[in-house]
Amino acid sequence: MITIKTPEDIAKLRKAGKILAQILKELSETTVEGISTKEIDDKANELCKKYKSVPVFLNYQPYGADRPYPASICVSINDEIVHGIPNERPRILKTGDVVTLDMGISYQNMIVDSATTVGVGKVDAGAQKLMDVTRGALAAGIKASQVGARTGDIGLAIESFVKKNSKFGIAENLGGHGVGYEVHEDPFVPNIGKKGQGPALKPGMVIAVEPIINEGTPRATMDSDGYTYRTADGKRSAQFEHTIVITEKGPEILTVL
């Protein structure tokens, strides 16, 4: 069921969004050569306590998963597409790595979700283009998130931007979603779509728009941990995500400072 958030809900979501944006900013600044993924997860927990919020991925068990997610943040490196577990088999970051930080928090019982991809030290031109195209695809998807449009219009905008600016693959079967009361709500927000298809966007809807782009094939494989998706060809992946609210004046990005 698609929910419409009240003005009071949206006011809380604005506060939550700024907190998550600050947390991801601080985590991005600490994503440097020599740090371990477990240290990033530990830092995420510290920041949640500092900003009086709750990491909602920790112990969350999505539909189809065999066990709850064991960390507070997803840290996905290079060929890991999404949901990399940072604390079970910690990895040490090295210069040139492409690292996605994906996190959700609850503040005053309202949930926001956001992700960013950062390069460790100096990255090569291919990695920079991958990040630039994915960031641009997010902007295109958000711009398409207008009252009266449909979720397929968001997917079409993302797909068109990626195809116009690269030969990259759009990670299959992954996309955005409703958010606010729960970690994942209806509707599914695709990264590939057709004009006029899918549920209509209405004022008060809150969704996470999250293009996930691979350097090569869109196909993915699942690690034995039950969460980590990898590119089938071993090439790199990037993700950028914002939680937005649909308004009569256009989409409002909540997860920004």
Give the pLDDT score at 51. Answer: 98
Average of per-residue pLDDT values in the chain: 98
| Per-residue pLDDT band at 158 (split at 50, 70, 90) | very high
Mention every residue, 6+ apart, whose C-beta is less than 8 A from residue 230. 79, 80, 81, 220, 221, 222, 223
Q: Tens digits of per-residue pLDDT, 45-84? A: 999 999 999 999 999 999 999 999 999 999 999 999 999 9
Round to whole Å and give the CA distance between 78 and 234. 8
Give the pLDDT score at 128. Answer: 98
| Per-residue pLDDT band at 110 (split at 50, 70, 90) | very high
Give the pLDDT score at 32. Answer: 98
Q: State pTM to two decimals.
A: 0.97
Residue closest to 102 by CA, chosen among 142, 73, 124, 78? 73
Give the pLDDT score at 5. Answer: 98
| Per-residue pLDDT band at 113 (split at 50, 70, 90) | very high
Residue spans of alpha helices (H) in the chain: 7-29, 37-50, 125-143, 151-165
Residue with tokens 């998706």: 229
Give the pLDDT score at 117. Answer: 98
